[in-house]
Structure 1
Amino acid sequence: MLQFLKFYKIPLLLCLTAAAFYWSFAYDLDRTDFPKLITLYAGLFFLSFKLIQLLKTRFWLLAGAALIFRLIFILALPNLSQDFYRFIWDGRLLADGINPYLSTPNLLMESAHFGSISQAQELVKGMGALSASNYTNYPPINQLIFAVAGLISKNSILFSVIIFRVFILLAEIGILFFGRKLLKHLNLPQYYIFWFLLNPFVIIECTGNLHFESVMGFFILLSFYLLWKRKWIISAIVLGISVSVKLLPLMFLPLFLKFFSIKKNTSEIIENRSFTNQISANISDLKSIKWVKLLSFYAIVLITVILSFLPFYNSAFLTNFSESVGLWFQKFEFNASIYYIVRWIGFQIKGYNIIADAGSILPVITFIIILVISLFRKKSSLKSLISGCVFALFFYFLFSTTVHPWYIATLLLLSVFTNYRFPIVWSFVAILSYYAYGNVEFQENLWLVTLEYIVVIGFAVIEVFFPKKLSFSLFS
């Protein structure tokens, strides 16, 4: 033991310091205190960076540290997000036999069901007026997790939070297990998985603030693992389950186009061709796609999603759910990049906020970009598929009207299995968006938003177009 302590004294000191920082973050931080928030976060990012550097050959020591840091949050109520109140509300509705998609919390508070929901007033107050006045937008697998908490913990908010954390922790253990196997298959260092699992961004946003991107990420990762094992039917089912946690993975479907191709690598064939010839070659490659298998894969994914929604379906369900999802494109705006430029142009030309129009057009542009990525990927390997998913997500977020920090957790996870590290940089600078919570008016500092995206886009451009400029990698 003494020899162990002597040999690992610096990593242990770093772990103890990080644990103290996480404790302060979990139990002694108000999100309005932006200076303290960003100081703790920067310190944790540095400590995690050094731990990975020092212990990259000690896989299970890093895994132990990742687990301990998460357990620190076990008894803490989330302090950077109030979404968990809505999770508990939906779960208690389901436990009481009420379809959460059919009414808003405000409407239910005025109905006969009000008295059957424990701690109803506290939950509605906690989730905030915006959430309470809108229909739920959480898909069925998420609702299933909420329901488990609703059945087990009918009268305790903290116990419900603990149940949510157990699900997230189990998902991240799954990410550790299958992520390690995928990294070995892709001939990448196994410790790369800790750029996700030891990243304070993930520990704080997922374990700490109960965002279920880790659960969705686990199912995405498991789906890719099953593809590697050539179990494409089960892979499609699992991908459908991931969509039923969060709808985000639906955008990946076009990217499977070349994966189900007879030609598994076309990079050598088209690398030296002109742009016109490359277009012709890529269109010609469509003939090599196993269309029956591809379309069957799509059908299984969509059938899985539809089946998960069926228990909740009635005439009002589709209207309420689509209305709720549409709010994120045409009503809400936060931490955006390209959209804020479009909004400014709109004010100059129209004299008012054009979010309703921009929110309809920008997703179409994103879809076109994803199609281009799908058609022009040079390789059809698993690593190329994952890289395509990384850039599909990147462009989706660049064109989104709302980019809460935890959204990029999936981008961060998938980047671990590629050669791109700009999502790690983003996971660091995304914390700047929390400046908005530091004032009563919930006012963003657009200079900080600009700084965030200049850093992220700049690093991404260098990685993609000038990789030789990065003579060494900070994250190797």
Structure 2
Amino acid sequence: MIALWKYHKIPVLFFIASCILYLWFAYNITRLQTTQLLILYIALFAFAYNIIKTSGFNFRLLVIFSILVRFLFLFAIPNLSQDFYRFIWDGQMILSGLNPYLSTPDFQMELGILTNFPNQVELHNGMGSLSASHFTNYPPINQLCFVLANLFPGKSILSSVIGLRLIIIAADIGTLYFGKKLLERLKLPSNRIFWYILNPFIIIELTGNLHFEGVMIFFLVWSLYILHSGQWKWAAVILACSISVKLIPLMLLPLFFGYFKKGGQFNNIANKFKEPAIIDELSKPKVIINNLLKLIAFYAIVGLTSILLFMPFFSMEFVTNYTKTVGLWFGNFEFNASIYYLSRAIGYAITGYNEIAIIGKILPVISILIILGFSFFKQNDSISKLISSMLLVLTLYLFLSTTVHPWYIATLVFFSVFTNYKYPLVWSLVIALSYLAYSNTENSENLWIIALEYTIVFSVFVWEVFLKKSQLNTLASN
């Protein structure tokens, strides 16, 4: 302890200051206190930056800081999101022998109070009318996490919250482990992982507010790590687990086309053992066809594993409810959007009405075309290039989305540590502005605030993705 203080006094002081602010954030702030929220948020980012920089990227020290700071939230009820009430509700439904996909909380409440369903009324009231009136859209492994959390000793809502939080903390530790190993495999500095793990946005939104993007990211990085090792069959199984936490990785599946077509996993093995003959073989049409057959098998394993994970809940009513609910979440709700809000304004000017029904169908088509473009016309023949494409595809998808809750960008922050793009880190800071919507009783958004957020994000994005690269190419040609 003395040596720690002697050699790392400055980062320790920043860490202690951060702990005080995190404790205040976790146990004293509500999303209605937007001024305090923003001040604490900005201060935590400044402290995190200084912790990482002044520590000299001491890996062991930063690991300790990363884990300790998460446990500060252990006994806190989430204060920026009420989604956790629905998580606990779904877990209790399963433990009561009921299928959470077949009834809404409102309908279940109309049937009466169940004796083996702790805190049923409190959970229903806490989740809000929007969640209570819709069927659940959380995939099966996410549901398993909800069940496990409800098995944590105790019958209170807090005991279930602690269970949820321990699962998410464990997932973050797993992401730290596999993220470090993948960075090393890609010949990148392993300390980059702390721009994700120690990012206040990640700590607050995942550990604090109990969003399961962290568990999805854990399975995703695990899958990418073993894919890089050439174990594509197991990579497919783990990727299916990621999809079964959150559906977002589904849209990334087409990007694997370029990786398998060029034999990316065999290139990695060939380079590792320095066998030029193996690399030469990759250029032969027979090997390319063989790799495409592996791609088909990869997709088949992902699909079959996903279906098997859904099977315990399967029925035609489940299919109807689930697809309807997913469609509603992606096409009927509006929050913190960018291009969609611009399109909506144009629609109002032309027709005088909110044209979400039309725009909400056009923008997904554009997203699909972007995904296909990145899949077939971009060289995704290495894990590094594959992750870069995943980052850009998911970014453009969110730019076109009608709803962008803060925790949606967690995956962008994670992907950014494997690239030279910093705009996701900038976005993770300015997205706190979206919480200003809760500063009034109507929870209405100030479009000038949204414009400020996206002006900053778009400016950095355009600079890094287009202008910076163009400038570098110009300098190289001169």
Q: Within 5 Å, which residues of 2 pair with 1:104-253?
A: 104-112=104-112, 114-152=114-152, 155-253=155-253
Structure 1 residues 12-52: Cα deviation after superposition (integer angstroms, max 9, x where no partner):
11011000000000001011010000000000000001111
Match of 1:410 in 2: 411
Contact 1:463-1:470 at 8 Å conserved across structures: no
Q: Give deviations 1:349-372, integer Å, cap 9, x for gaps.
A: 222111122112211110100111
Aligned twin of 1:434? 435
Distance in 1, matches of 2:45 and 2:286, equals: 44
Give distance in 2, aligned partners of 1:213 and 1:24: 24
2:360 is matched with which residue?
A: 359
Structure 2 partner of 1:47: 47
Query: 2-side partners of 1:468 and 1:357: how far apart?
Result: 35
1:302 is aligned to 303
Write the deviation string for residues 110-140 of structure 1: whole angstroms up to 9, x where unpaired. 1146444221111011000111111101000
Shift of 1:261: 2.1
Residue 371 of structure 2 is matched in structure 1 by 370
Partner in structure 1 of residue 476 of structure 2 = none
Q: Distance in 1 between matches of 2:338 and 2:160?
A: 35
My pick for the range that moved more, 404-413 or 313-322, is 313-322
Q: Check if 1:461 corresponds to 2:462.
A: yes
Residue 328 (structure 1) shift: 1.6
The letter of the residue matching 1:32 is L
Cα deviations by residue, 1:137-184 (Å, 9 ceiling, x for unpaired): 100000011111234457210010011111111111111111111111
Report SS of the residue matched to 1:125: helix
For 1:153 and 1:339, how far apart are their aligned partners in 2?
45
Distance in 2 between the 1:186 and 1:253 partners? 21
The answer to whether the 8 A contact 2:264-2:383 is kept is no
Sort the Cα spacing of 1:18 and 1:117 in 2 relative to 1 into closer, same or farther, 3 A: same
Q: How far apart, in 1, do the equivalents of 2:226 and 2:339 lie?
A: 36
* Kept in 1: contact 2:219–2:242 (CA 8 A): yes
Q: Distance in 2 between matches of 1:470 and 1:427?
A: 26
Is 1:347 equivalent to 2:348 in the alignment? yes
- 1:327 and 2:328 aligned: yes
State the Cα distance separating 1:291 from its structure 2 match.
1.7
Pairwise CA distance, 1:377: 1.5
Displacement of 1:454 in angstroms is 1.2
Give the Å deviation of 1:463: 1.0
Contact in 2 for aligned 1:219/1:239 (Cα 8 Å): yes
Q: Residues 114 and 415 (structure 1 numbering): CA distance in 2 closer, same or farther, change over 3 Å?
A: same
Partner of 1:278: none
Give the deviation of 1:240 after TM superposition: 0.5
For residue 314 of structure 1, report the CA deviation from its aligned partner: 1.2
When normalised by structure 2's length, the TM-score is 0.91
Q: Is the CA contact (8 Å cut-off) linking 1:260 and 1:293 kept in structure 2?
A: yes
The separation in 2 between residues aligned to 1:368 and 1:459, in whole angstroms, is 24
CA–CA distance in 1 between the matches of 2:154 and 2:107? 21
Deviates more, 1:357-366 or 1:86-95: 357-366
Deviations 1:332-387 (A, max 9, x none): 10000000011111111222111122112211110100111112223511100000
* CA distance in 2: counterparts of 1:251 and 1:12, whole angstroms: 41
The answer to whether the 8 A contact 2:380-2:389 is kept is no
- Which residue number in structure 2 is paired with residue 337 of structure 1? 338
Of 387-396 and 321-330, deviating more is 321-330
Cα RMSD (Å): 1.9
Change (3 A) 1:470 1:147: farther
Pairs aligned (count): 453
CA distance in 2, matches of 1:264, 1:95: 44
CA distance in 1, matches of 2:263, 2:44: 45
Look up the equivalent residue of 1:130 and give its one-letter code.
L
State TM-score, norm by structure 1: 0.92
